[in-house]
Structure 1
Amino acid sequence: MDKDSAWLMVGFIGQFFFTSRFLVQWLASERQKKSVVPTAFWHFSILGGVVLLGYALYRRDPVFILGQSSGLVIYFRNLYFIHRETRQILQCPKIAS
């Protein structure tokens, strides 16, 4: 496999991960019968975003690079909020009844 074909495969793999996040979100929403965004959505967003950013850098596509890099900031920020909220819940003292 030549270099361009290998990078094309990387691009498709990144797109697969990125698209998988919607499948995860849809299935979670169907299970709960309401719109939800599971943590896995953000993990797939990061995985797909990182792979696609690598592909965009290889292609030297400034539009694609800007889109993926700015998206990664948002995905990591959302995971930070989830982690912070989970940590606060776990550290909250139990109220005696």
Structure 2
Amino acid sequence: MLIQLSHDVGGYLYDVFIARFDMWLLLGIVGQFLFGMRFLVQWIASERAGRSVVPVAFWFFSIGGGLITLVYGLYKREPVIILGQGLSLFIYLRNLALIRRNRRPTAVEETG
């Protein structure tokens, strides 16, 4: 039973990652890699600060990975990816806008 299961899993993985490999699959993998890098960046920044922080790079990796994954989902006609990444991109961009707005000096600080 275990031998058959290992053959079935191996056959599935071969089919998904080798037999069906094309440039679109590579693009999707790159998008997921960029998307995943945001967690590494956030973890390193939090460890350095000794508290949980979300650096600006987190949002840039989110946008890059999300956009590439969205393109992949559009090409593959995957509604789950399209909805998830399409809605998420708005949130990532909004967070960058909020960060930018909060970093600008206010009128009181400029004249102060």
TM over 0.5: yes
Structure 1 residue 87: deviation in Å? 1.3
1:61 aligns with 2:78: yes
- 1:89 Cα shift? 5.5
Change (3 A) 1:40 1:89: farther
Identity level (%): 53
Unaligned segments of structure 2, at least 5 residues: 1-20
Note the C-alpha offset of 1:62. Answer: 1.1
From 43, 49, 72, the counterpart of 2:89: 72
The aligned runs of 1:13-32 (5 Å cut-off) are 13-32=30-49
Higher RCO structure (Cα 8 Å, ≥6 apart): 1
Q: Which amino acid aligns with 2:93?
A: F
82-91 or 56-65, which deviates more: 82-91
Are residue 49 (structure 1) and residue 69 (structure 2) matched? Answer: no
* 1:23-81 deviation digits (Å, cap 9, x = unpaired): 00000000000000000000000000000000000110111100000000000000000
Q: Normalised by the size of structure 1, how large is the TM-score?
A: 0.88
Q: Partner residue of 2:110?
A: 93
Structural RMSD (CA): 1.7
* Cα deviation, residue 88, structure 1: 3.1
Name stretches of at least 5 consecutive residues in structure 1 with no aligned partner.
none
Q: How many residues align?
A: 92
Cα separation, partners in 2 of 1:42 and 1:90, compared to 1, 3 Å: farther
1:26-41 paired onto structure 2 within 5 Å: 26-41=43-58
